[in-house]
Amino acid sequence: MRSVVALVGAALGLMVLAGCGGSDASTDEPAAARDASVQEVTTTAPAESSRAAAPPTSSGVLRGTYKRLDGTPVDLASYHGKVALIVNTATECGFTPQFEGLEQLYKERRARGLVVLGFPANDFAQESRSNGEIASFCKENYGVSFPMFGKTVVTGDGANPLYRRLIAKAGAPEWNFNK
């Protein structure tokens, strides 16, 4: 748990950027067509009010619709205003026990605006399970209740659009459980 909390502190800048809808200059995202679990969406921001700031526009990091492990689509814009800890996961990795600490952190801090978003990936050859098997494994072994999305690609030319935006801002994941 201590290492997860330390990583959260170290990644705070990235998490705040992901949660606040910061600008994104990247527009070339052809890999979305190759990733069946991802569908980018475009939203328009309503006119600003003098009483409240306008909600983030589609230019932020948290945009696009991604399918959860059970196939339910989720628009990442629904997490705007929260601190998002985005993690590439793998169930066959030596770091897999981090699910326990991530779940504890999520339970302790979600009421204060933290959301953990898990993205299983086989980029490092440690996630051979199907989405259903990943969901069962995470629930049965670690009680994972934070949002887990469908297996995807998080590095290289095939990285999903979210990870391409994150890579542009903070570099590519070097291994599983990068935050």
Nearest alpha carbon to residue 89 among 114, 116, 64: 116
Strand-pair partners of 117: 86
DSSP state of 48: P
Q: Which residues contact 115 (CB under 8 A, 6 or more apart)?
A: 79, 82, 83, 84, 85, 106, 146, 147
CB atoms within 10 A of CB 172: 16
154 CB-side CA count, 13 A: 28
Rounded CA-CA distance 120/126 in Å is 10
Active site amino acids: 93
